[in-house]
Amino acid sequence: MASIKLSEYFSEIYERGKFPRFKVLINGEWTETSNKFDLVSPTDGKKTAEISSVSEKDMRKTIDSAYASKIKIRSMAAIDRIELMHVVMRGLEEHREEIARALMAESGKPYKSASGEINAAIERIRLSMADSRKIMGEYLPGDWSSDTSKKIALVIREPVGVVLGISPFNYSVYTSIAKILPAILSGNSMILKPPSSNPIAFLMCAEIFRKSGLPDGVLQVITGPGEKTGDYLSSDDKINMISFTGSTEVGKHIMTISGLKKTHMELGGKGTAVILEDADIDLAAKECVKGSLELAGQRCDAISRILVVDSVAERFLDAVKKHLSDYKFGNPLEDDGVTIGPVISKKAAERINKMVEDAVGRGAKLVSGGGHKDAYHEPTILMDVPLTAEIANEETFGPVITIIRVKDKEDAIRTANDSKYGLDSAVFTENFYSAWETMKALQVGNVTLNSAPSHGTSYFPFGGVKDSGSGKEGIGYSIEEMTNLKTIVLDLAPGHLGKEYTGKFKD
């Protein structure tokens, strides 16, 4: 049975009992709510804990506290904010193993994936000094234009106010911290809603933030059903910005109810790998298997379909089958060597399997896998998938390697771009000119050459186009999303300063 056992350091975030009952963080205090819901581990389908479900009264208190606390973080010196985050980083380093084990128990992640996520969060904070470069603004001398010749301007960045962050289940710790970090560094207060399916590891991180000295009310963390909680928070006028990572459907809904708030949407994707005839086939296969199966395919930047030029398709398939043996499927709580565990729920596994069955029913070849039980779906290879199949067009979010034949490079580009999504892609070729032409032609926010997409600490900016969202995440770029530009114009003429425009050289 998956169990959550925490050290004394985290004793305030839950109440002991047959199952630990986790609280919410409102105005600096861990608070019990009147309603709870059960957390079920995908590793064994059994209840692991009870999670607080906030009421409207709880949410009203949360919003009001965050709104009132804006001044606390905005008035803190920026260097203090950065040094505070480094205290948080040391706390994460001290408790990384415990957090990783909790993440494994609640979400079914293999050990390597869970520990890697915590390490990425730590590294993201370590690089936080680079974020500050994006807050410094600029000086504009006015004498480059005739109508402003005796004026100057300062263009500065100011915090938006209260940021609402909504995080997904696949990277519940890293994505949450990647939202909190730029929000607080730029002087905003924040309300963070972690995923209902696996919030515990992040609640532990929130306690590290609290104990590190973050002023009460600057970070609020609440849990509850996504639709009810998300709708209430997103539509409230005291929320100034929403940073959402999740499905396209939910992202579109949030935008319809949020009014004129700033929004950053990191939504669904149909990551496409293009394998051209002059690719290093073994490298391409190895990277495509990794990109398709890592975290059981539950990544928005996963390789969700592979377009391979017909002349090398059989060689590519043979190499894929070889590299599939590099992965071990099973229960990660029973064997730390497991690299592919369950998906997030039995319902998710059933959805994935319906997509596989639909593809086979339309003529795709089931090369390997295809079975499922409870929350476990076997790593699966589908060959010659027709473009009419659902799995050829919709986000899979499961451990399926979907291979589609194309005639040539031009056919690959047309097929890749005939998608409502535009998040991530990869191109495999040894020819620089083919690489450049293809990468420029793909209608996506991110494209990688000769490697599976991987964003790590978000050092490079990351974000999609079309139905994959708007805005960019990444060191420095997230800061820009969470600040407003303000132009301060100073007229120097009353002080007999500034440069006189003569107009004598005008045509």
The residues that are catalytic are: 266, 300
User: Are the C-beta atoms of residues 364 and 383 closer than 8 Å to each other?
Assistant: yes
Q: For 128, which DSSP code? A: G
User: Are the C-beta atoms of residues 148 and 142 closer than 8 Å to each other?
Assistant: yes
Lookup: tokens for 343: 């998906």
Give the other-Cβ count within 10 Å of 182's Cβ: 29
> Which string of DSSP letters, residue by residue, matches 189-225?
EEEEE--SSS-HHHHHHHHHHHHTTPPTTSEEE----
Lookup: tokens for 109: 């992640």
Residue 55 burial by Cβ neighbours in a 10 Å radius (0-12, 13-18, 19+): middle
Q: How far, in whole angstroms, is CA 334 from its chain's centroid?
A: 28
Phi, psi dihedral angles at 461 (to 5 degrees): -65, 150
What whole-number distance in Å separates Cα of residue 425 and Cα of residue 302? Answer: 9
Burial letters for 277-305: b for 16+ Cβ neighbours within 10 Å, e otherwise? bebebeebbbbbbbbbbbbbbbbbbbbbb
What whole-number distance in Å separates Cα of residue 352 and Cα of residue 358? Answer: 10
The three-class DSSP label of residue 494 is helix
Q: For 258, which DSSP code? A: S
User: Are the C-beta atoms of residues 453 and 446 closer than 8 Å to each other?
Assistant: yes
What whole-number distance in Å separates Cα of residue 419 and Cα of residue 248? Answer: 13
> Cα-Cα-Cα-Cα dihedral of 254, 260, 266, 268, to 10°?
40
**Token pair 């139905």 in the structure block, residue:** 467
What whole-number distance in Å separates Cα of residue 447 and Cα of residue 452? Answer: 9
Lookup: tokens for 219: 């970070």
Residue 143, CA atoms < 13 Å, CB-side half-sphere: 10
**Token pair 């869970």 in the structure block, residue:** 114
